[in-house]
Amino acid sequence: MALGPTSSAIHITGTGPHYAIKTPQNVTVHPVALFTILDHYLRRTDQQDRVIGTLLGRRTEHEIEIRSAFAVLHSETDEQVAVDTEYHRTMYELHHKVNPKEVIVGWYSTGSNLNTYSALIQNFYSLETAPHPAVHITLNTGIVEGEEAGVKAYISSPVGVVPKAENCVFVPVSVELRFHDAERSGLDLLAGTSTSTTATSPQPVPDLEVLETAIQNVTSMLDRVLAYVQSVLRGETKGDPAIGRYLMDTLGASAGVGEEIGGFNGSLQDTLMVSYLANLVRSQAEVSARLALTTAT
């Protein structure tokens, strides 16, 4: 699942004894972090070209998982760049209290240009995350014409004979969007909302409506598969044996019709029973609440 335009960068990772601290090979981002960055960008002041903030998440041996983010104050002028480190500290402590498992893994900025100031800020965050490398995420919001919205991740390495804070190479790292099942239904909800004309959607959505959408989705996929199979049968396209086998495995899964009839009837009765029980409990509760309101008089 790629985020944004494809890059031609090759991701090389050294594996040798002298790589004591493993450089991350993969960065995954949760939707919450991305949406927080977008919100921060939306609330920037007129003077700010870009906004920056801290990324929080977890670190495994080869992977960095960015789970949330918060905004940090900073100012950039032609002569200097300043990051409000005290603010950054306070916010981190506040987040840490709620979610102790999340640590600082790096920083984000909007827009996709990397400059000297980026190197300086990167240097600051590297000190925060030491001994692990800091990740830098650039999120292009896509509002500048000609640039595509997308997310890129970098780690830095020092450059030059004498390493200086303002000099570094940003090495691209592959970045992916990652979410859990619970988050995905929220994402579906938002994706549905964003395509509606008013950019709003009423809540709650009835379960059956969600089911209907899912079934329609499956139906359209089956149609696509059917169209493909028929065109192969007609000889218009060359069949791909891998796809054929895959389809066979998937569609052949619902074999053994005979034994399913009993199972179906059984679980139908169970479901009806549960439904009856639920209604019974509800009416009992209602009656009980009303009985409490009656008096002997």
Closest CB 52 distance from other proteins, rounded Å: 11
Closest CB 2 distance from other proteins, rounded Å: 6
Per-residue x/- mask for other proteins, residues 176 to 205, rule CB under 8 A?
Answer: -x--xxxxxxxxxxxx-xxx---xxxxxxx
Binder among 55, 91, 155, 173 for other proteins (CB under 8 A): 91
Residues of span 204-243 touching other proteins by CB under 8 A? 204-205, 207-208, 210-211, 213-215, 217-218, 224, 228, 231, 237-238, 240, 243
Q: Which residues 6+ apart lie within 8 Å of 38 measured at CB?
A: 139, 141
Q: Are 67 and 27 in contact (CB under 8 A)?
A: no
Q: Which of 3, 155, 2 is nearest to 64 (CA)?
A: 155
Per-residue x/- mask for other proteins, residues 56 to 85, rule CB under 8 A?
Answer: -----------xx--xxx------------
Residues of span 113-152 touching other proteins by CB under 8 A? 141-143, 148-150
Closest CB 18 distance from other proteins, rounded Å: 34
Q: How far apart are CA 285 and CA 160, in angstroms?
A: 75
Residues of span 256-285 touching other proteins by CB under 8 A? 257, 260-261, 264, 267-268, 270-272, 274-275, 277-279, 281-282, 285
Closest CB 158 distance from other proteins, rounded Å: 31
Q: How far apart are CA 232 and CA 96, in angstroms?
A: 57
- CA 26 and chain centroid, separation: 14
- Give residue 50's region: left, alpha or beta (phi > 0; psi -120 to 50): beta
Q: Which residues 6+ apart lie within 8 Å of 25 measured at CB?
A: 11, 13, 62, 63, 173, 174
Q: Is 297 an interacting residue with respect to other proteins (CB under 8 A)?
A: yes
Per-residue x/- mask for other proteins, residues 25 to 54, rule CB under 8 A?
Answer: -----xxx-xxx-xxxxxxxx---------
Q: How far apart are CA 111 and CA 51, in angstroms?
A: 9
